[in-house]
Amino acid sequence: MLWFQKQIDLKPRPRGFHLITEEILEQLPEIEQLSVGVLNLFLQHTSASLTVNENADPDVRRDFESYFNQLAPERAAYFRHTTEGPDDMPSHLKSSLLGTSVILPVASGRLALGVWQGIYLCEHRNNGGTRSVIATLQGERVLKKH
């Protein structure tokens, strides 16, 4: 049984929904050691989120952004938490709706995502900066052939 954990720092991105699958995998070569297991990704922030969705058509990411901007609009008259800017409180709501973690299956040293699935960083602030993810791998090691 293997347990492994590390912090992955994601490059800053503008507001929007961004595919980060390759960025995560580049910083997590340890995944290749697992024959079967799980990867938990936990985002250490309250104004961004993680999700898994369509990885091919960029319109999906733009539509996500449009939808969530209508769901949690900036400058809503009922917001009291406004001292950190008009994008802050809506970003907290979006983060709570989407969540800050995903659990993904690992099979034969690779993520067992569907053909059209990718990991998104959902950046809800206009200038969110570097985002940190705690990656925790758990599973059975690949058996070495003798």
Q: What's the pLDDT tens digit per position in 78-103?
A: 999 999 999 999 999 999 999 999 99
Residue 34 falls within a domain, yes or no? yes
How many domains is the chain partitioned into structurally? Answer: 1
Residue 43 falls within a domain, yes or no? yes
> Residue 68: what pLDDT?
98
Given a cut of 80, whether residue 144 has pLDDT beyond it is: no
Residue 79 falls within a domain, yes or no? no
Mean pLDDT over the full length of the chain: 96
Q: Which residue range is the domain that position 104 belongs to? A: 2-74+84-141
User: Rounded to the nearest 10 degrees, what angle do helices 58-71 and 88-98 cross at?
Assistant: 120
